[in-house]
Structure 1
Amino acid sequence: MTDPQASGAAGPGADPRRWRALGVCLVVGFMTLLDVSIVNVALPSISRGLGASSADLSWVVSGYALTFGLVLVPAGRIGDARGRRTVFMAGLAAFTLASAACGLAPTPMLLVIARLVQGAAAGFLTPQVTGLIQLLFRGPERGRAFGLFGVVVGISTAIGPLLGGLLIAAGGETSGWRWIFFVNVPIGIVALVGAYRLIPARPNETKQPLTWRTFDPVGVVLLGVAVVSLMLPLVQEQQWHGSGKWLLLLVAAVFAAAFWLWERYLTRTGRDPLVDLSLFRIRSYSSGCLIGMLYFGGFTTIFFTFTLLLQEGEHYSALEAGLATTPFAVGSAIAARVGGNLVGRLGRRLVVIGLMMVTVGLLVAILAVDLDSGRSVAFSTALPLLFAGFGSGLVISPNQTVTLSEVPVTRAGIAGAVQQTGQRIGTAAGIALVGAVFFARLSATGSESRAFIDATAITIALIVVALIVAAIDWAVTRRTGRQAGASESAPA
């Protein structure tokens, strides 16, 4: 049965609470994505406050990313079947409690465990946000809603170091790190109340049956092993020395192939697969997932290498380094809002324009660092980063809108989860690759600026590949559109 909200959510039957419900979703999405980046500048404070080792600190960062990516797909499937408000509120309650546990953690081990739980809770929340946007909005309104979501993605990723620096400065070098977790608690409680009051519940008769058998436990295990085996060596690339860790990529390939074969078998036999593989026959969806994975593999590394250049090379404080990334965040926030309004008219072409702007902005940033690698480097890179941020705002939310535009609402949760999983894998792979280049060049030259320039060249290469994919998709869309128009206008 079709979800009653699936038709005309922007028309007369639209839920009048949809924009306020979206506000709740965006606040929660901001919290979960912020916790990916905000912890990086808190690592020295955590080390001093808890006596954490480098291995502990590594797991504080990578453990969150690992469990986040691990549960996205099962969470999307559950949300599609059992109602997104229920799963959203359960995930939010778990995230809020885990944040409190992180802030109260008396030992590094308990902090790592709490971060693992926090990451899993964030993974349950994220596909519900994209699914709810698909559910509540239609037509131009959906583009605007995804535009606002793009603002959240861009700001949360870029502003994390700045907020982390502010909280540590206010709370002190040894205890300030606790406040980056405590701040989630009151926000989470208020958001829980808002979710209960504003997000529409799904009528019982529209819920799909979800038993242990129909949930596809074999698919969950196969995909889980594949995701962990792929992400673990990537997120631990700097901590696990030696080449043995890359054997896990072979394990990932084997289990991914087994998962694909198993899902095809379930589809052929008329049973419910974890992931409906027919989604990838929708060209806008498959192309958009690839673009998102490549772009997140590139753009998230900018903050990683730029922060290293500023803090290690130019001895900026955490707060100063965070301020230096603010132009990118500002540009991304402004352009994402504009992009949400334009994507209905321009489609994938808008993504192509945005990727070109990011490429140009980063090339100019490289030139600025090459010409001025002293303490004033934050000022010389401000305008290029602002321009790149504008481009980024025209990529993330428009790509999300176009990617999910042809996906049925009843599969919006799982479709968004698969897309988000690709973005998490792209982020981990990008940081591993670009980080390896950065540290190799730093070891060879002893210059953080030279290491940043060479590493950012790899970042630009990833973004250019995403640009090529987007341009091909746009060209094919234009050609097929013209052919369809010609066919419709031809005489019978």
Structure 2
Amino acid sequence: MDDRTRWRAFAVAVSVASLTILDLSKVNVGVPAIEDAFGAGPTEIQIIIAGYILAFGVVLVPAGRYGDQHSRRRMFLFGLVVFLIASLLCAVAPTVEVLAGSRILQGVAAGLLMPQVLGLIQQLFQGPARGRAFGVFGAVIGLSTAFGPTLGGLFVDLGGDDLGWRLIFWMNVPLVIGLFPFAYKLLPRTQPASSGSRDLDLVGTALLGVAVLSLMLPFVLTTGGPDDDPARWAWLAVFALSGAAFVWWERRYARSGRSAIVDFALFRVTSYRNGTLLAVAYFAAMPAMFLTLTLFLQLGQGLAAVFAGMVTIPFALMMALSSFYSGRVVERYGRGLVVTGLAIVFVGFGLVLVSVLVLPAAAVPWAVAIAMGIAGTGGGAVIAPNQTLALADIPVTSGGVAGSIQQVGQRVGTAVGLAAATAAFYVTVYAETGTETEIVVYQDAYLHAALVILGFIAIALAFALADLRARSVGAMHTLQDARTT
């Protein structure tokens, strides 16, 4: 494949990845309209938002394994068709139950697609070109995450409460139809042969699905409202049992000479392990930040959906620029680049919180936009460089499943972060309503949510520092060995 065709195939894959990420964030601003349209309660809304993430996470690893073993192109095309059907069903949903079910199907499609994108990047590029590709990938993902609320708010304002939220889903239909023929033509029809057998581990797939589902489900069902059922945490016991059974089965399966769904040897690679844990914590913070900030601006500040979404534009623009540059210099600066990026994100999000608490209402959106721009500058030095560094020592034949495991971690992190931050937000709203003025209620609610979010960023920073130290120790040992010989 020539260089031009390679980058065109990459453009198609990343465009589809951006659609799956847009649907993580653009639906958030349509929540009030969906509530009005169906009279939906907190649990239904949480399933519409987090059910997508839940299905996304459950499907990722088996889809990545299938793509690695058989055909990433075939799985990618199938995922596009499912995403198209699910988007259509969401757009025409007559009831909240149909909408929730269609969102879950949409999440399944996203889970089919994303590991193929990551595997294709591993397959198409090597060396510095891979760093540049992940830099562009990170920029696109950052733009999709941050522009999602603005795009969703624009559709809600254009279509009104009845039609606007449906336009959010209708948007996917012409885009998927337009991308499908390019994907069919440009994606590579062959790929390096994977090691091991190509049999499908049905037992392992089922156990992994139960483990991921039972881990994420109690967080998905957490709304912060008075109707939260404490019994939902019993699912974590199911997770412990199914997770242990999965590890036992996979090791037994691998000893028999067959190809397990998860190669546990991947976690012995320090850079991959640390990068994956870092991504879990980082993605626990990011979607939660966008959702709770949008809630504060709409409910506490009274901003229209489109203007609440526009506050995140500086984050998107600065992240895109930073991601593109970071992809070019990650080979030179390594994990230190990620540490610096996370520190800047922490400062930016801290400034958002200070702006919300101390500035007059008229100045808050402007100050928050500036602070989000600072955070975006750091954010661009996190996602793409971390992806590049985490996968640098992973063989191409395992690129899809390694990327899938990372994506599962990110989706689990997203579910946990959304649950923790939104619960902190709404618990405060329920507790203080009637005892404080409305603006104070929502300031306190955002304060508690932001402290949760800053905690997750601090955890991500700790993993980045641990990996930086591990790399420094490894480099020192290598130098000592060289001197000895």
Give the structure-2-normalised TM-score: 0.94
2:379 aligned residue: 392
1:481 aligned residue: 475
Q: CA deviation at 1:208?
A: 7.1
Per-residue CA deviation, residues 53-112 of structure 1 (Å, 9 max, x unaligned), is 554333222221111111001100010011111111110111112112221223333222
Quick check: 1:180 aligned with 2:200? no
Does the aligned pair in 2 maintain the 1:83–1:207 contact within 8 Å?
A: no
Quick check: 1:254 aligned with 2:254? no
- 1:235 partner letter: V
2:153 aligned residue: 165
Quick check: 1:286 aligned with 2:273? yes
> In structure 1, what is the Cα distance between the partners aligned to 2:362 and 2:241?
49
Q: CA deviation at 1:269?
A: 2.5
Of the structure 1 ranges 444-453 and 457-466, higher mean CA displacement relative to structure 2 is found in: 444-453
Q: CA deviation at 1:437?
A: 2.1
Counterpart secondary structure, 1:172: helix
% same residue? 43
2:116 aligned residue: 128
> In structure 1, what is the Cα distance between the partners aligned to 2:274 and 2:236?
23
| Distance 1:44-1:365 versus aligned 2 partners, 3 A rule | closer
Does the aligned pair in 2 maintain the 1:14–1:136 contact within 8 Å?
A: no
Q: CA deviation at 1:444?
A: 4.2
Does the aligned pair in 2 maintain the 1:36–1:61 contact within 8 Å?
A: yes
Q: CA deviation at 1:481?
A: 1.1
Does the aligned pair in 2 maintain the 1:373–1:449 contact within 8 Å?
A: no
Quick check: 1:234 aligned with 2:228? no
2:68 aligned residue: 80
Of 396, 403, 413 in structure 2, the residue corresponding to residue 426 of structure 1 is 413
Q: CA deviation at 1:118?
A: 1.1
Counterpart secondary structure, 2:200: coil
Counterpart secondary structure, 1:270: coil
Of 201, 204, 209 in structure 2, the residue corresponding to residue 219 of structure 1 is 204
1:4 aligned residue: none
Per-residue CA deviation, residues 202-230 of structure 1 (Å, 9 max, x unaligned), is 16x9477876xx21111111111111111
Q: CA deviation at 1:242?
A: 2.8
| Distance 1:141-1:217 versus aligned 2 partners, 3 A rule | same
Does the aligned pair in 1 maintain the 2:428–2:445 contact within 8 Å?
A: yes
Per-residue CA deviation, residues 318-375 of structure 1 (Å, 9 max, x unaligned), is 1111011222122211111111111111111111010110111122222222211513
> In structure 1, what is the Cα distance between the partners aligned to 2:209 and 2:327?
33
1:23 aligned residue: 11
2:126 aligned residue: 138
Counterpart secondary structure, 2:161: coil
Per-residue CA deviation, residues 139-158 of structure 1 (Å, 9 max, x unaligned), is 11101111111112211111
> In structure 2, what is the Cα distance between the partners aligned to 1:16 and 1:375?
49
- 1:459 partner letter: I
Does the aligned pair in 2 maintain the 1:67–1:116 contact within 8 Å?
A: yes
| Distance 1:488-1:369 versus aligned 2 partners, 3 A rule | same
2:316 aligned residue: 329
1:309 aligned residue: 296
- 1:382 partner letter: A
Does the aligned pair in 1 maintain the 2:83–2:106 contact within 8 Å?
A: yes
Give the structure-1-normalised TM-score: 0.93
> In structure 1, what is the Cα distance between the partners aligned to 2:409 and 2:284?
10
Quick check: 1:35 aligned with 2:49? no
| Distance 1:78-1:468 versus aligned 2 partners, 3 A rule | same
Does the aligned pair in 1 maintain the 2:197–2:258 contact within 8 Å?
A: no
1:5 aligned residue: none
Which stretches in structure 2 are left out of the alignment for 5+ residues?
A: none
- 2:308 partner letter: A
| Distance 1:264-1:206 versus aligned 2 partners, 3 A rule | closer
Q: CA deviation at 1:473?
A: 0.8
1:272 aligned residue: 259
> In structure 2, what is the Cα distance between the partners aligned to 1:360 and 1:152?
23
Does the aligned pair in 1 maintain the 2:281–2:460 contact within 8 Å?
A: yes
> In structure 1, what is the Cα distance between the partners aligned to 2:12 and 2:389?
23
1:469 aligned residue: 463
Q: CA deviation at 1:176?
A: 1.5
| Distance 1:48-1:366 versus aligned 2 partners, 3 A rule | closer
> In structure 2, what is the Cα distance between the partners aligned to 1:477 and 1:371?
41
- Computed over aligned residues only, the root mean square deviation of the Cα atoms, in angstroms, reads 1.8
Q: CA deviation at 1:16?
A: 3.6
Of 317, 321, 326 in structure 2, the residue corresponding to residue 339 of structure 1 is 326
Does the aligned pair in 2 maintain the 1:82–1:210 contact within 8 Å?
A: no
Does the aligned pair in 1 maintain the 2:193–2:397 contact within 8 Å?
A: no
> In structure 2, what is the Cα distance between the partners aligned to 1:38 and 1:123?
18
> In structure 2, what is the Cα distance between the partners aligned to 1:72 and 1:151?
22
Counterpart secondary structure, 2:158: helix
> In structure 1, what is the Cα distance between the partners aligned to 2:442 and 2:114?
35
Aligned residue-pair number = 476
> In structure 2, what is the Cα distance between the partners aligned to 1:102 and 1:305?
24
Per-residue CA deviation, residues 115-165 of structure 1 (Å, 9 max, x unaligned), is 221110110000011110000001111011111111122111111111011
Of 138, 152, 170 in structure 2, the residue corresponding to residue 150 of structure 1 is 138
